[in-house]
Amino acid sequence: MALKTYWTFVIILITTCRSFADDDNHEMEEFLKREHSLSKPYQGVGSSSSSHWELMGDAMVTTEQVRLTTDMQSKQGAVWSRIPCHLRDWELQVHFKIHGQGKKNLNGDGLAIWYTKERMQKGPVFGNQDLFTGLGVFVDTYPNEEKHLEAQKTRYTTRTQRIFPFVLAMVGNGSISYDHERDGRPTELGGCNAMVRNLNHDTFIFIRYVRRRLTIMIDIDGQHEWRDCLDIPGVRLPQGYYFGASAVTGDLSDNHDVISLKLYQLTVLRSETEEKEEEDEITLPSVDNMDLLKMGENEEGWSSIAMFFTILFSMLGCFLLIVVGLIVYSHWNENRRKRFY
């Protein structure tokens, strides 16, 4: 009996603790934090005050998932952790599913994964409040800005047009508003397209925060392989915030399901220099290189216009050179003929 208990403990330890290295060859170990994780059979979720997780709005628990919204209009729901997270480095793996009867671009609106100071607050940002403080990762399934431009009979350039659904991230400090009409473009850190609707295989989002670096990857192709989505250094997130997930529907709808949220504590070996750089306590979320990110976005947005004017002025310059060349040649040829008289 004692031997069986011992091997049971070893199996649990192996499944909850893994060792690996990140891209910068920093040795790391990860430990599953059950008090911050949500998985089947969802015991007590939404019905017991002793549960670590709490439901809000139209969210409901089934045997297979936590359904944030059903495939009906004007629904919003969320599930929030009751326990603040005080981990320095962490990794969140989200198993989710979005499905419904609507055809492409006739569905909405999407779901969000949160690590924020506030919790259990209804609002317009995928079912959560605007002007939030912390990190939001959004799976946006409806192109609001594109539809607005189509109504005005204008279109994106090929460089700025997006394929939806689209995964993006935003860091808020309590005073930054999410621009719903522009699909969050003015405040996003980056993102990637992710065709996640009505799939017959599992879909996952991977969010890692290590050494003030935010990395997001997706596994949506049924190949059990992570695909890069964004990787941003200089992201400052305070400790003591709450994890959650929310979703919303409007005139268009979808089922938005969370199957599991698994949080891992990462133990990272740091050098003395890295320890000194990170010794200051973070009190307000921020991104060190946000201005550079926005500059890159503006350059991308204006690239097609700049290219048009570059080509135009180049053609005008060439034409001007040809005209000047013809005039000079004409004068030279005329003077040459005069010398024969």
Q: What is the pLDDT along the chain (341 residues), one digit of tens a residue?
A: 454 444 444 444 444 555 555 555 556 688 999 999 999 999 889 878 778 999 999 999 999 999 999 999 999 999 999 999 999 999 999 999 999 998 877 898 999 999 999 999 999 999 999 999 999 999 999 998 886 676 665 665 555 678 999 999 999 999 999 999 999 999 999 999 999 999 999 999 999 999 999 999 999 999 999 999 999 999 999 999 999 999 999 999 999 999 999 999 999 888 888 888 888 889 999 999 776 555 544 444 444 455 555 676 777 777 778 877 778 767 766 665 554 44
Beta-carbon count within 10 A of 167 CB: 23
Q: Are 55 and 78 in contact (CB under 8 A)?
A: yes
Write down the pLDDT at residue 13. Answer: 42
For residue 176, how many C-alpha atoms fall within 13 Å in the half-sphere facing its CB? 18
Strands 203-210, 90-99: pairing is: antiparallel
Write down the pLDDT at residue 319. Answer: 77
Copy the structure tokens of residue 154: 């204008």
Q: Which among 142, 118, 113, 148 is positioned nearest to 130, based on CA atoms?
A: 118
Give the C-alpha separation, 300 to 158, whole Å: 11
Copy the structure tokens of residue 105: 């671009």
Give the C-alpha separation, 176 to 132, whole Å: 8
Write down the pLDDT at residue 338. Answer: 52
Q: Which among 252, 307, 292, 311 is positioned nearest to 107, based on CA atoms?
A: 252
Give the C-alpha separation, 11 to 144, whole Å: 48
Q: How many angstroms from the chain centroid is the CA of residue 328?
A: 60
